[in-house]
Structures are given as structure tokens and as C-alpha cells.
Amino acid sequence: LAKTTQPISMDSYEGQEVNITCSHNNIATNDYITWYQQFPSQGPRFIIQGYKTKVTNEVASLFIPADRKSSTLSLPRVSLSDTAVYYCLVGDTTGGGNKLTFGTGTQLKVEL
């Protein structure tokens, strides 16, 4: 299973765009990349998922280069409510790919 590496923490201000990069050098051909957001005292929740190139939804964008060894979560115009821990998870899609382990995550702090 591919391991992931993320920055431990990031700081930003309201209204700025935030980009969090995750490194997954050993990603396998069938692996998808999924990002989760976790607020204090809550379980993580799904934000976005992708396999290659770019994916966008109402919350975020996910950029994946051609070699897929990294991915970048982009949060446009963050607000105070985006202060949370963000996890990148790489899990394979083959039949045995159910052992899903998280990395350390990135603590994003948004200030006024």
C-alpha cells in the first residue's frame, strides 16, 4: 500500500487560495487518491477523489500530475470554517485493496 507524506501544518488567511500537496511515490496503477477533512471531535469526511489530471467539485479541486507520484488539494478562497486537518489517502481498487491507512495529515489554520 502506498505511503503518503504531507506537510504537518499550514497557515493561511481568509480569502486566500490554499494548496496542500501530498507525496505518494509508490502509488500503484490502480490506486485512487482521496482527500478527507476532519474537524475537532468529528470523524473525517470525504472531500474529493481523483485518479489522474484534474477533478473539481463544489468544495475543492484536485490536481494530479501525469506520473501520479503526488497530488495537490486546492481550496479556493478559504474561510475560518476551513480550519481543519486534511488527510490524503491512497488506496487501491483491486479486490484485496481494503487495508486503508492514513498518513499524519495537514493541520490547516485560517486566520482573519
Partner 1 sequence: NAGVTQTPKFQVLKTGQSMTLQCAQDMNHNSMYWYRQDPGMGLRLIYYSASEGTTDKGEVPNGYNVSRLNKREFSLRLESAAPSQTSVYFCASREQGGSSPLHFGNGTRLTVT
Binding region for partner 1 (CB under 8 A): 32, 34, 36, 41-46, 49, 51, 87, 89, 91, 93-105
Residues 6 or more apart whose CB falls under 8 angstroms from that of 37 comprise 44, 45, 47, 84, 85, 86, 87
Neighbours of 36 (CB within 10 A): 19
Helix, strand, coil distribution of the chain in percent, nearest 5:
5, 45, 50
Nearer CB in complex with partner 1: 13/39: 39
Nearer CB in complex with partner 1: 73/87: 87
Nearest distance in Å: CB 20, partner 1: 14
Nearest distance in Å: CB 42, partner 1: 6
Nearer CB in complex with partner 1: 13/46: 46
Q: How many residues in the chain? A: 112
Whether residue 20 contacts residue 108, with contact meaning beta carbons closer than 8 Å, is answered with: yes
Nearer CB in complex with partner 1: 99/112: 99
Nearest distance in Å: CB 60, partner 1: 14
Q: Over the Cα atoms of the chain, what is R_g?
A: 14
Nearest distance in Å: CB 16, partner 1: 25
